[in-house]
Structure 1
Amino acid sequence: MAGEQLNVLKALDAAKTQWYHFMAIVIAGMGFFTDAYDLFCIALVTKLLGRIYYTDPSSPNPGNLPPNVSAAVTGVALCGTLAGQLFFGWLGDKLGRKSVYGFTLILMVLCSIASGLSFGHTPKSVIGSLCFFRFWLGFGVGGDYPLSATIMSEYANKKTRGTFIAAVFAMQGFGILFGTIVTIIVSAAFRHAFPAPAYFIDPVASIGPEADYVWRIILMFGTIPAALTYYWRMKMPETARYTALIARNTKQATADMSKVLNKDITEEEDRVVERQAVAGDTWGLFSRQFMRRHGWHLLATTSTWFLLDVAFYSQNLFQKDIFTKVGWIPPARTMNAMEELYRIARAQALIALCGTVPGYWFTVAFIDVIGRFWIQLMGFAMMTVFMLAIAAPYNHWVQPANHTGFVVLYGLTFFFANFGPNSTTFIVPAEIFPARLRSTCHGVSAAAGKAGAIIGAFGFLYAAQDPEKPDAGYSRGIGIRAALFVLAGTNFLGMLLSLLVPESKGRSLEEISKENFGDEEDAVAPVGV
């Protein structure tokens, strides 16, 4: 039996693409632009932090943070993000999407500034304060995931909903690219203003007094795009689905959307409103009824996002180490600190420009044509293939004559991560769960992803150490080649679990989650592929 749907929700589902859709994409997307900048810019400056605070003048290989320090610096923001996704995801369903949306942005702005102002008299105290502020920065970033995804899904029409949510997430690619561009500009400016010799000529002068300003400037630069969108974020009305289905104020929802859509929307009779609002309203998260309706869906979204982020964050956070291993970035002892930072940023900018950013926008173009399920399955499959193509003949790729081929294959893994599960794992949880649990379930799914990112960040750091020459005081790793095989296996498992992911293309949110009155009889069945 087809279910009834409120007129205001019908109007949203059938609305033509118009100005308010683009405004919502920009407002929510700039949050993700900032998220990506803040999370990934730390990978650009860890070598510089190692040079400044942990370089031994007698060391022939400067710039490497101790493994435990490197793990803390790169992983602490991910821990904060996980906590923020759970907390703000739950809060978004309790207080409303908009009411907590601005707070996450303020937290990100303040903590970005504070990260750049990290203080202390010793290396440990500076790194300790940096980790403290980056945890809370990650906490704010985490809130943006469920809130931005839910807001965009509830604003969009059903025909192009996937495109709009994907466009919001695609701003992450521009954020990563922007981080590399800022780093290139800042490092180039200081490199020419304060020339310094290579490390093997003079270990102290190769760092230079300006180096301590550079990493701080780079970290603080992420405040600018976030601050610019705060006003517009606060002007957005609450989503009609929250107002009508959770707050049960259909009159307000109708008034808000009439202004947004520039059309008159007929209000329902009280009988229809009540029947829609209370449909399935007696069960909670992880209850038996929830598990019957959405248990397989939650398993699909959490497991695939977890496995994707193990691989994706391992690759992203440690690109510089892989590039050094294959010789694409010269040994640190042959360069001064600014030259090394410049080369790391340039290498990562090339990967972002050729692989990461195009992948996101291919998803935007094809998500509502091919569908979520097939894009995710294809992405995992291709990531597995290209990771194996790198790992199996790894000794071939590290030869100087073959570096270009390595970079091409490595870039393709990023392309199919983003034209694949890195985008779809963000989109699907915002569509398949009921309105009153949508933000919470997206937060739980995203948190599972960040748990994978933490394992990837910490695990790959240790695993990729040379088994013959581990850093002093630390256990032997399995080497980069073996670690790449592990990541290929992770991608393959993600492909298998993607078979549980439901297809939500072209259907209203209420139809997918069985929230329309009259759908309760079929609601226990999975949505299916």
Structure 2
Amino acid sequence: MAKEQIQVLNALDVAKTQWYHFTAIIIAGMGFFTDAYDLFCISLVTKLLGRIYYHVDGAAKPGTLPPNVAAAVNGVAFCGTLSGQLFFGWLGDKMGRKKVYGMTLMLMVICSVGSGLSFGHSAKSVMATLCFFRFWLGFGIGGDYPLSATIMSEYSNKKTRGAFIAAVFAMQGFGILAGGIFAIIISVAFKNRFDAPPYEVDPVGSTVAQADYIWRIIVMVGALPAALTYYWRMKMPETARYTALVAKNMDQAAADMSKVLQVEIQAEPKKEETVKAKSFGLFSKEFLSRHGLHLLGTASTWFLLDIAFYSQNLFQKDIFSAIGWIPPAKTMNAIEEVYRIARAQTLIALCSTVPGYWFTVALIDKIGRFAIQLMGFFFMTVFMFALAIPYEHWTKKDNRIGFVVMYSLTFFFANFGPNATTFVVPAEIFPARFRSTCHGISSASGKLGAIVGAFGFLYLAQNKDKSKADAGYPAGIGIRNALIVLGVVNILGFFFTFLVPEAKGRSLEDMSGENDEDVAAGEESEQSRSHNNRTVPYV
């Protein structure tokens, strides 16, 4: 069986890049496009939610979400994502990747629409309904992480596997970009239709009733790419590696690979006696000795990375307001504020986030995962401290552009760095029967970090400067403290990277040790046969 598996799966390892590989990238990647759109679009509309549902009549400034509500709206999807990553990761190893792949998309479609239809008689009921749907939206998104990564890794050849997996994840950048662009379009459309100038007449009270449609439309549009992808996901065959190594069906694996690679592949005839590798469990001492440090490395680096990455993404609007790049809320109407926030986030995505992802795609199979991850953590640390230490310098009006450039570079090196590699590596280094589960554990650790970032950053960066608060800025000198903490987090990520092995140019079976398991089982079986065939000499 060991030799059979190696010979059959070798066809995937040495296969030339074909059109089907690119099709698989698009099919899996559209899930991540949707994931990013749905997770990050909420940051575009949270200030609008505060204006609509928490404005007090006669107040001197626009309404804002209370800290606990803001934390719930931003963080509840991550709680769902964490749960979905663990559940669907486990289910993908038990039932197969394909059988559960469509469930995640359907959850995303239903809950995106449900989020936009969050109604109620009070602000609390609307926010509670929104949080309910965003939790289950996150649950579906969570399932996409281990399944998409595992499917892409098991379809790929070993020469370009890193680039293919990274390309799936890079669709996340386009999702972030699409969210910003769509928010710009919809805010401009509503501003021209319902919000005639001059805005100075009543900037605080100019949250027109139609503004309630804006956030609902923005969150519901996330259902479209997921719905469009569902049919093609259902047509994908099960991965040959799962069929061969977990389901033990070599004939079906050969047939599936023939369809994928568009070549005729014959399964070797079964021998009379099949050698089976000793199977060990996920929580066994054998797994701990073989892969325990690897799992610690992938989980810890993803946890630390997401503290920094999601803090930056979800609260960049507050950071830009704090340094004055986005004007105080009371100086503009609601729709204008959505437009300015979307414009700022789109600029960051276009100039740094998206290029960072594709630098990783281009170079990951040339310089390796390990080098890219170390480099990313290092430069994220450098730029975080470069922003935090002379923070008062950057808040001056003449220096704001410099702050934005430096801040953009932290995004660039997050994506040309650990944000991409932490997704790629767990799909390569664990055995097939645990691959989806271990990726789910690693990514769930990341989402735990995102929860820490979403809730922790919110309170760490609360306004501590009364003069800035009175001027309408949502955050004051707490931003500096937050940036310093994030810099320290990146330092820890740098050192935990040394627990993660390099997978460049190696087959999945070599990385996971499955070849060694099968060879050991074969030798043990041979010894057993030799022992049983001994004859007792006649005396």
The bucket for the TM-score relative to the shorter chain is over 0.9
In structure 1, what is the equivalent of residue 343 of structure 2? 346
Q: Distance in 1 between matches of 2:215 and 2:291?
A: 45
Once the two structures are overlaid, the 10-residue window that deviates more, 2-11 or 218-227, is 2-11
- Find 2:297's aligned residue among 291, 297, 300: 300
Matched, 1:268 2:246: no
* Residue 466 of structure 1: how far off its partner (Å): 2.4
- Find 1:286's aligned residue among 283, 286, 289: 283
> Structure 1, residues 59-96: CA drift from partner, whole Å, max 9, x if none?
44424211000000000000000000000000000000
In structure 1, what is the equivalent of residue 400 of structure 2? 403
In structure 2, what is the equivalent of residue 511 of structure 1? 510
Question: Does the 8 Å CA contact 1:159/1:506 hold for their aligned counterparts?
Answer: yes
Runs of 4+ in 1 over 3 A off after TM superposition: 2-6, 57-61, 196-201, 271-275, 468-472, 517-522
Length, aligned pairs only: 515
Once the two structures are overlaid, the 10-residue window that deviates more, 119-128 or 462-471, is 462-471
* Residue 478 of structure 1: how far off its partner (Å): 7.2
Matched, 1:318 2:318: no
In structure 2, what is the equivalent of residue 525 of structure 1? none
Question: Does the 8 Å CA contact 2:431/2:509 hold for their aligned counterparts?
Answer: yes
Q: Distance in 2 between matches of 1:248 and 1:273?
A: 14
Distance change >3 Å, CA 520–CA 338, structure 1 → 2: same
Question: Does the 8 Å CA contact 1:3/1:517 hold for their aligned counterparts?
Answer: no
Q: Distance in 1 between matches of 2:373 and 2:331?
A: 43
Local SS of the residue matching 1:175? helix
In structure 1, what is the equivalent of residue 415 of structure 2? 418
In structure 2, what is the equivalent of residue 428 of structure 1? 425
In structure 2, what is the equivalent of residue 333 of structure 1? 330
Counterparts in 2 of 1:492-503, with a 5 A limit? 492-503=491-502
Q: Distance in 1 between matches of 2:339 and 2:274?
A: 61
Larger Rg: 2
The one-letter code of the counterpart of 2:168 is V
In structure 2, what is the equivalent of residue 215 of structure 1? 215
* Residue 471 of structure 1: how far off its partner (Å): 8.7
Question: Does the 8 Å CA contact 1:197/1:206 hold for their aligned counterparts?
Answer: no
Q: Distance in 2 between matches of 1:158 and 1:4?
A: 19
The one-letter code of the counterpart of 1:498 is T
Counterparts in 2 of 1:41-440, with a 5 A limit? 41-195=41-195, 201-202=201-202, 205-271=205-271, 274-275=274-275, 278-281=276-279, 283-440=280-437
In structure 2, what is the equivalent of residue 449 of structure 1? 446
Question: Does the 8 Å CA contact 2:85/2:139 hold for their aligned counterparts?
Answer: yes
Q: Distance in 1 between matches of 2:332 and 2:271?
A: 74
* Residue 16 of structure 1: how far off its partner (Å): 0.1
The one-letter code of the counterpart of 1:101 is Y
* Residue 265 of structure 1: how far off its partner (Å): 1.5
Q: Distance in 2 between matches of 1:88 and 1:438?
A: 12
TM-score (norm 1): 0.94
Local SS of the residue matching 2:515? coil
TM-score (norm 2): 0.92
Q: Distance in 2 between matches of 1:341 and 1:28?
A: 31
Question: Does the 8 Å CA contact 2:31/2:226 hold for their aligned counterparts?
Answer: yes
> Structure 1, residues 136-178: CA drift from partner, whole Å, max 9, x if none?
0000000000000000000000000000000000000000000
> Structure 1, residues 366-400: CA drift from partner, whole Å, max 9, x if none?
00000000000000000000001110111011111
> Structure 1, residues 226-257: CA drift from partner, whole Å, max 9, x if none?
11111110000000011111111110110111
The one-letter code of the counterpart of 2:451 is I
Question: Does the 8 Å CA contact 2:92/2:437 hold for their aligned counterparts?
Answer: yes
Question: Does the 8 Å CA contact 2:60/2:204 hold for their aligned counterparts?
Answer: no
Distance change >3 Å, CA 320–CA 392, structure 1 → 2: same
Q: Distance in 1 between matches of 2:469 and 2:324?
A: 19
Unaligned runs of 5+ in 2: 522-539
Q: Distance in 1 between matches of 2:282 and 2:519?
A: 17
> Structure 1, residues 288-328: CA drift from partner, whole Å, max 9, x if none?
10000000000000000000000000000001000000110
Distance change >3 Å, CA 114–CA 12, structure 1 → 2: same
* Residue 270 of structure 1: how far off its partner (Å): 2.4
Once the two structures are overlaid, the 10-residue window that deviates more, 207-216 or 194-203, is 194-203
In structure 1, what is the equivalent of residue 485 of structure 2? 486
Local SS of the residue matching 1:270? coil
In structure 2, what is the equivalent of residue 38 of structure 1? 38
In structure 1, what is the equivalent of residue 530 of structure 2? none
Q: Distance in 2 between matches of 1:223 and 1:186?
A: 16
* Residue 55 of structure 1: how far off its partner (Å): 1.4
Question: Does the 8 Å CA contact 1:61/1:331 hold for their aligned counterparts?
Answer: no
Question: Does the 8 Å CA contact 1:198/1:335 hold for their aligned counterparts?
Answer: no
* Residue 259 of structure 1: how far off its partner (Å): 1.7
Q: Distance in 1 between matches of 2:79 and 2:3?
A: 41
